[in-house]
Amino acid sequence: MSKKKLVEIKNLKTHFKVGDQWATAVHGVDLDIYEGETLGIVGESGSGKSVSVLSLIQLIPNPPGEVVEGEFYFKGEKIFDGEELAQIKEVPKYRYFRGLSENVRKTLAILFFSGWLVLHVALNIPGVLLFFISLISNSILTSYLFFNSPYKKTYNKWRENMFQRMRELRGDEIAMIFQEPMTSLNPVYTVGFQIIETLKRLTFQEYIKNGIINLAKSVKSTPKDIRIKTTVFFGLFVMIFTQLINGWTFEIATVFTSLLKGAVFPTIVAYIVIGLDKLISEQYHTKWKKLFEESVILLEMVGIPSAKQRMDDYPHQFSGGMRQRVMIAMALAKNPSLLIADEPTTALDVTIQAQILELMIELKNKKTDAAIVLITHDLAVIAETCERVVVMYGGRIQEVASAEELFGNPLHPYTHGLLRSIPRPDKDTKKERLDIIEGIVPSILDMPVGCKFCTRCDVRIDICDTDEPPLREITENHFVRCHVVETENMRPQA
């Protein structure tokens, strides 16, 4: 495995607004991702796995979420700087009346606005035009006095600059396969169109041109019997509709004319579409054809049979496993250096899961300097695919080690619990029931003061309830956050 850092994350903290409170979902995560490695991030639901990675690529919905601290580096370039954000937070929230609370500020703004209107009426100023001018002036002045925010302007400018840097990376250098392949694709666009859109960002004019090209292609490939049926259908439809309007007169001339108009209509539309298609330059047709062929190659690469024909199919025409393959094809479209897979095998049967994981590893091996981050709660998947593993709980990293070391010599009590809960048919020991980790993941609004796992830990000591342990290196490249663990190894019970 290469030891050149691809991604470096320092002291990542992400908050979410829950009601009137701020809850910390990710608290002080430090993580390096190296070129050429497959890194697994494992933990129960609510442990902070997905939020950590979404924070890295700045896809946390804001509001209610916000990355509040930390530094992100990608290939040595700083993408996010928490110190810049801290300096921005020192900028006054409001230009005037800074000591007012939000409720008092809103109340005074309403009183000022209402008082202006009352004064306008009391002065008996005539004319509707003057009233509207007064109303607009009142709105502008109220907004300026009570809601003029230097902080908001500075913050929005900083966010736009940061998002601009990230937009240049997302989709090109960094790609992500999201959870739920059943809902990740847009149901109203063909699969081929969505892959092409990944290869090249389209302008509005290009959307129109591509629609015309696809429509013309569909018209030209329509079988003769379908054309005849369409002509007959439209002819009868227009004839019946005309008779309905005219009161069912059934005059021969009217019936014949309406039947002819309806029959000719599809042909006229078809010729208009073909004519518009011919107006599009040959150069653009060539470019579109090249994008189409590249998309076909991507579908073939991820194992979609009859890829060229399936380009015109919609997502609902694909099975769950095939949709996940399409998502992988879209993620790999720009040959990214970092591929993030968030629960890529969710809702797929075991056979398809194995095929998807095998495909991801095979594709990574073709680009040896690329890295994969696999987010999952399934330790069996981690054991099969990953070289290094990060165990998360309560928004913190609890253990980091190579996959071989973690499964052979786990140290953190939480890792023990995860491993004991896995069915082991290879073991001779018979069990009437599987081991479980007692309790549930605590709410981010009510996290323990000390160790985040102390409320569920079987080996906790007094200090665990009050002091949070640091992440320490117990053996070479094996890091653990636990007071109990020192130099001796703690092995899970069989």
Residues 189-224 have pLDDT tens digits of 889 989 998 888 888 888 899 889 988 988 888 888
Instruction: Kindly report the average pLDDT of the chain as a whole number.
Output: 87
Q: What is the pLDDT of residue 492?
A: 44
- Which of 416, 340, 424, 339 is closest to 380 using CA atoms? 424
Is residue 494 over pLDDT 70?
no
What number of other Cβ atoms are within 10 A of residue 310's Cβ? 18
Asked if residue 413 lies in contact with residue 459, where contact means CB atoms within 8 angstroms, the answer is yes
Q: What is the pLDDT of residue 6?
A: 93
Which structure tokens are listed for 355?
């095929």
Instruction: Give 431 or 293, the one with higher predicted confidence.
Output: 293
Report helix, strand or coil for 480. strand
Instruction: Give 218 or 424, the one with higher predicted confidence.
Output: 218
Relative to beta strand 478-480, strand 338-342 is unpaired
Q: What is the pLDDT of residue 491?
A: 46
User: pLDDT for 332-342, tens place per residue?
Assistant: 888 888 999 98
- Mean pLDDT lowest among 175-189, 377-391, 393-407, 427-441: 427-441
Strand order in 174-177's β-sheet? 174-177, 338-342, 371-376, 38-42, 388-393, 396-402, 478-480, 472-475
- Tell me how far CA of residue 388 lies from CA of 328, 338, 368, 404, 480, in angstroms: 22, 15, 16, 8, 14
